[in-house]
Structure 1
Amino acid sequence: MKEGILLAATGLLVVLTCLPLWKNPAWWVRDLDFPRLQLCVLALVLLFAQALLLSYSEPLQIFISALSVGCLAYQAWWIIPYTRLWHREVKSADTSQYKPRIRVMAANVLTPNRQADKLKALVREHRPDVLVTLETDHWWETQLEELTDQYPYSIRCPLDNLYGMHVWSRLALENAETRFLVEDDVPSMHANVRLNDQLAIRMHFLHPAPPSPTENDESTERDVELLVVAKSVQDDEDTIPIIVTGDLNDVAWSANTRLFRKISGLLDPRVGRCMVNSFHAQHWFLRWPLDHLFHSHHFQLVRIQRLPKFGSDHFPVLVELQYDPAPEQQSLQGEAQDDREAAKKLGEEGVSESEVPEPDKH
């Protein structure tokens, strides 16, 4: 009996581990990219139960544990880069030097949430230079209007469909545009952020729709929005300071996020440091990194921090970067097949990187 239960549980673990290998974009396949940490825990629990309950006197018992070890190793392979066991992709900044810095805060507010005062208190405490708020409707825009004294520059797109977006900035926003790159009701924002007279940063703010039974049946729309931005910065990330940030509705270790990094050449400051699990703020056992900031080699990390919850299902995330170009910082290295895969996905949706604004080239 106990052997049968352990075999069934191990079989379920194997199915949950192997399904994402199938490159089907269906939501119920792609969403299994998310809980790799949780599946590691499940594999460890199973191994512990097997060690207690099995005598390992039969080949089947050894096989059950071997499957669990294999699943654990495979799931851990994806998430270990987001721990201190991995080398850091982005250097820690020498803060004793006087060099330009930018502090960016991303906050998915959860449209029905009405605890705007808590978010405004966090903004006043941490004083980001650029604040991007997601899922903001007209009510949220009214609540955050008082920030304009400190954040005189803004891009606004209030919507009632959970995809409203606002960017609030102390720094001048040049050539700011709102675009609907893939879906007609899902905006993205693009601007040149003027750090000083000599330095401006191209910034892209994204919030693609996730694959889910209540949103899109497939991950295609989300994947394409990330890849079209990756293609648009591909040839510029060596020469132009670039930041891409927002709630990408994808985890840092997914195959598509890795493809985004390979195509764009942008760096992830979490690699070698921490996961920064920003969702779900209400359920500690269901957390993964959905809110991201990627940047070109022109920056080194001052700090990355998950801020306290404020009533949303997301924690806000704060990242501070110092402008200190280090070309030796390298992202994941792409191959020709990665470009082909990205081109195929963009072609199937009829989306071109030429549709992504390049505000620094106006």
Structure 2
Amino acid sequence: MGPQDFRKMIAAWLDGSLDQEGRKLLSKLLMQSEFQEELDKIMQEQQLKGYAMQEGFEDAYQRMRSTLQTRVGNRTSYFRRYWWSAAAALVLLIAGTWYFAGETKKEGTAHAEQSTIAVIQPGQEGATLTLADGTKVLLDTLGNGIFANQNGAALYLQNGQLEYKNTGEENEKETFNTLATPKGRQFRIMLPDGTVAWLNAASSIRYPTRFAKNIRRVDITGEVYFEAAPATEQGRRVPFLVNADNRFEVEVLGTHFNVNAYEDEPLLNTTLLEGKVAVTGTRTKQKVLLEPGQQASLQKKPAAKELSVRKAATGKVMAWKNGVFDFEDARLDEVMRQLKRWYDIDVKYEAGVPDIEFVGKMTRDIPLNGLLIALEKSNVHFRLEGRTLVVTP
């Protein structure tokens, strides 16, 4: 197929006249570098300007460009830049099937195979709130407005953020709520003191519906970013404490910080963006004071006795909150742990974890299938069985 025929096919898809067989063929063509380049030319020439401006098409096109390189063992392999366009992703979605066509040969080349794979969508906003009496509320299903009252606080949902508003009612009984995000969800909450917390996928935060006057304490699992609000009582600062998986405690001294306490991660990390925090090991009672840009880590297996402090790659740490996968210097198992949580999948390795290291970034708003195409270009071989990604030699 020549460039002009390809352009006609793109135009037919855009005006809705491309039949099912044509969409399948187009999805195959878009897996080939020469047609990806031709699509780039079409967009750059603005020959489809009228379509590109619809529903943020052009913006999506630009955001979905990605560059991936891999280092395999001690050998560094640089792959040409692949621009993953919104057009390619949308065509594949409309066709209803994703075709992974590649040639895989022995000694590092791919085996020729086609597979039809269901589209797995990226994560989105959503969480489950457990009230003091055990009632569970699925926040994904609610609109804006007040939906419950807890111990003198009105629970209010506003544009994807859960807020607690003081109603002025006094109640001496301390009650707790728990906000939890499953895999494939993230959420934001404003706590009763005004502190804002962002929960990554597969995370939770337990907190009182009204903080005590002398201390503010929350318990978390998974990964949570905080922007802590200052609070005083009779001229004294009220401490804000974060208990991370009962392994270390973070004392906030007025700050922005991120805590990663996922069970399947080898390190527990606290990263400071602004202000100051004091991190204390729950078992060793060792205490370290962080400055902005620093990270305190505790190794889990084998269990380390002391916290270590180092300069943090803050951009990489905060990528999840900013809607990005940052795979800079990430090994394959680290990449897969992120994909498991965001796309709600399982990952299995047929022959151990391949020795592959990545460089690059991708947006988190694309279907898993689009991201996997990029991984294939980076010498990662796999098959998708339902919601289980099997990494093959």
**TM-score when normalising by structure 1:** 0.28
Q: Which has the higher helix share?
A: 1
TM-score w.r.t. the length of structure 2 is 0.26
Higher strand share: 2
